A and B are shown apart, each in its own frame.
Chain A
Amino acid sequence: MRFLPLVVLFVACAPTRTVSLTFGQDGEGLDGFMCKDDAGQYLLNRLPPDGAASLVFDFVQLQGVPGCRTGQLLEWCKDHDCSPIPNARGCVPVTLSAPDPDRETLRAALRESMKSVRGHEAIGDAPDEFVLVRVVGTTQTCDEVRARSTSEPLETSKLLGCAYSCPVLLDRVEQAVYLGFDGFVGKCAQGVLICSAEQLSWKTQ
């Protein structure tokens, strides 16, 4: 019995791993924050003058391991519950730059803005299942976001951008988790809408 405390201590003292979220070394995953609406306006134009915004981190349950591409995910989510895990939502205020007409200048500016939240804890203990990690930019404040259930959509008119990861089991991840956005066109507001939804599925505004 004298060894029981040692066993308990050994188990209890298991180190905590830290997994980082990244948009890539050159901010290549920031395309989802540079989307324009059908009128050709950047969603970032919704920012108030002071650039105040919030980044909302969600861990979307998948109930399995679907493929990584948008089409694969949405196809999977037709038959599975792909909603954010309740109580796993995180939010951090951020100040974003006003959009620049030049795409690469805007990317660089966004990178700099995003650096300000580096080190913020998205979640203390990651889910023990395959999830999709999602970060949504919104002009809603974090208080407003927290007051809203994960089963409700964020206000679509205040969306600024979105990025997500491939399905990942965070407990087993060895490297940083890459967040990005599938899209080859600038007018990708529809993608942001789908990405930020309370349930991943094809959506039209």
Chain B
Amino acid sequence: MASLLLPLLLHVAPAGAPAVTVVVEGPASAEAKQSLSSTTLPVELRFSPAPSLEPVKTTPSPWPTRLAAARTAYVTANFVECLRQLEGDAAPAELLATGERLLTARLLAWRAACHTGARQPGPARAAAEALAAFQVPLPEDVASMTPEVESLLARAQTDVGARPMTTARLETIPAGASVELDGRPVACTTPCSMELLEGTHVVRLSADGYTPTWRLLAATDSPIALEPAAPELAAAQWRKRVEKGDALDSAASLRLLSTSLRAPRLVVMASDPATPKLLRGALAVDGQLLVRAERNDDAEGLVRDLLVRGQVVEEAPSIFARWPFWLAVGVAVAAGVTTTAVLVTRDPTTRVEVGFQ
């Protein structure tokens, strides 16, 4: 009977079972993986390591070199070459979008200087006013420029500072993006409003799970839609959060891990060195944290609990709700009744022999 009922109690992952990515971290990870490798859960478990914590190598900016070349050209009165080194209409905004306020200040100051040297007062003033509007401090390079340039820059600071303040409102889809204004990690979290000096400003919007973007504020009347981050970027954002001490199973961490591992269904399990047997787990579906659970030294039970509560799999119906059970019970009862009837009604064989003593 046991052999008949046992298959009813066990699940076997059917063909086409949903795939679930599992990330296991902590001292009990090896045991947990071992336990899960022979699981009877009706899903396909795919083990994946967490993204590497190695820092991402960034390519160095060309601007320090170009600024040095512009300075050399300026000193030798080669203003054409100086301006050639500094060309690029979007360069100041791009530098500010990456937080390079000093390079932006140097770029705009040298543009003002080279245009002044080239007898181009209009562009020189525009560069000086842009420098003032971005409210970046004047660079030390100003000491290498002519008094005329210094005067231009000082006048622009005064003029721009006298402009009226305007209110700018920022909205993003989704909301919750951090706003950096003119390279300063200040401002606010969308949706929000800011008081600004009149003029061009650069805002950089960043949120976990989305590709950072920047805009010239004048062009941002409507909500800015953020693009989901690519897996590599999500991995970098996840690394950043973990390095800051964020929990592996936090909602943000799960969202970034889901993206970086390309895992629509993700289970993260972790244990602490202090309590290595206690497994904490969380399930995220499509990047959204659905449930958390804890189990003591029972990885399979923990995953089963998460998948059932997260409705990734349906809880196995009670054995009493399955027809094979009642069929087995019926067969057992019939067999029992038959056996009893046979035993009660059968003709016992009694041999009679002579036992004369």
Contacts and interface: CB of A to CB of B under 8 A. Distances in A.
Q: Is B a genuine binding partner of A?
A: yes
Interface of A: 3-4, 7, 10-11, 14, 16-25, 27, 55, 57, 92, 111, 114-115, 117-126, 128, 133, 170-171, 173, 176-177
Given A17-B348, A128-B347, A171-B348, A10 B353 contact: no
B355 A22 contact: yes
B349 A125 contact: yes
A165 B346 CA distance: 25
Contacts of A4: 335
B352 A121 contact: yes
Given A114-B354, A126-B351, 8 more contacts: A11-B343, A17-B349, A18-B353, A22-B356, A22-B357, A125-B350, A170-B352, A176-B355
B354 A92 contact: yes
B144 interface: no
Contacts, number: 97
A93 B120 CA distance: 151
Interface of B: 1, 331, 335, 338-339, 342-343, 346-357
Given A7-B335, A10-B339, A170 B350 contact: yes
Contact of B349 (A16, A22, A122, A133): A16
Contacts of A20: 352-355
B351 A115 contact: no
A133 B355 CA distance: 13
Contacts of B338: 7
Nearest to A59: B352
Contact of A7 (B339, B348, B349): B339
A11 B339 CA distance: 8
10 contacts: A16-B351, A21-B352, A21-B354, A23-B357, A24-B357, A92-B354, A114-B354, A120-B353, A125-B349, A171-B350
B351 A123 contact: yes
A146 B81 CA distance: 142
B8 to A, nearest CB: 16
Contact of B354 (A7, A16, A111, A122): A122
Contacts of B351: 16-19, 121, 123-126
A195 B352 CA distance: 20
Contact of A119 (B335, B342, B350, B354): B354
A117 B353 CA distance: 10
A48 B357 CA distance: 24
A57 B331 CA distance: 46
Nearest to B338: A7
Most buried by A among B343, B349, B354, B356: B356
A76 to B, nearest CB: 22
A59 to B, nearest CB: 8
Contacts of A3: 1, 331, 335
A115 B357 contact: yes
Nearest to A120: B354
B353 A19 contact: yes
A126 B352 CA distance: 7
B76 to A, nearest CB: 101
Nearest to B339: A7
Contact of B348 (A14, A27, A92, A123): A14
Contacts of B349: 14, 16-17, 124-125
Nearest to B347: A128
A8 to B, nearest CB: 9
Nearest to B350: A126
Contact of A115 (B350, B352, B353, B356): B356
Contacts of A171: 347-348, 350
A133 to B, nearest CB: 7
Contact of A19 (B339, B342, B346, B350): B350
A29 to B, nearest CB: 9
Contacts of B339: 7, 10-11
Contacts of A24: 357
B352 A25 contact: no
B355 to A, nearest CB: 3
A126 B347 CA distance: 10
A111 B354 CA distance: 13
A196 to B, nearest CB: 18
B350 A111 contact: no
Nearest to A122: B352
Contacts of B350: 16-19, 125-126, 170-171, 173
Contacts of B353: 18-21, 119-122
Contacts of A21: 352-356
A17 to B, nearest CB: 5
A25 B355 contact: no
B245 to A, nearest CB: 60
Nearest to A131: B352
Contacts of B331: 3
> Which 3 interchain pairs have the tightest Cβ spacing?
A20-B355, A114-B356, A126-B350
A25 B357 contact: yes
Contact of A111 (B1, B342, B347, B356): B356
A92 B354 CA distance: 10
A203 to B, nearest CB: 26
A118 B347 contact: no
